[in-house]
Amino acid sequence: EAAVTQSPRSKVAVTGGKVTLSCHQTNNHDYMYWYRQDTGHGLRLIHYSYVADSTEKGDIPDGYKASRPSQENFSLILELASLSQTAVYFCASSDNRGKDTQYFGPGTRLLVL
């Protein structure tokens, strides 16, 4: 069974503070993704990575950085959190681009006050 875990599961942050969301996968997958879920927008891709030590911008990268220190770990970093970044964040992994199933983590609920 594919496994993607995220931490923390929920977080309250202050505006202007730094937030780091972590994702860990035990699937031995090369591809990892960070999505954001908002009411009325579905899921949108923030950053993705297809190899360790390399990240790529997705559709809505502004205000976010990503880090892929190893194949298993992929972090999303909000250097200066803003109210508009309140959302649910999902990490996913897949074995190959396009065709393969993406396996999602349980999500992190982020509230920025």
Nearer to other proteins, 2 or 13 (CB): 2
Pick 80 or 111: Cβ nearer other proteins? 111
* Smallest distance from other proteins to CB 46, Å: 10
Q: d(Cα 2, Cα 100) in Å, to the nearest integer?
A: 13
**Which residues make Cβ contacts (< 8 Å) with residue 99, sequence separation at least 6?**
none
The nearer residue to other proteins, 6 or 85, going by C-beta atoms, is 6
Residue among 40, 55, 48, 28 nearest 88 (CA): 40
Point out which residues bind other proteins (CB under 8 A): 4, 31, 33, 40-45, 48, 50, 56, 58-59, 90, 92, 94, 96-107
Which of helix, strand or coil describes residue 83? helix
User: What minimum distance in Å lies between the beta carbon of 44 and other proteins?
Assistant: 8
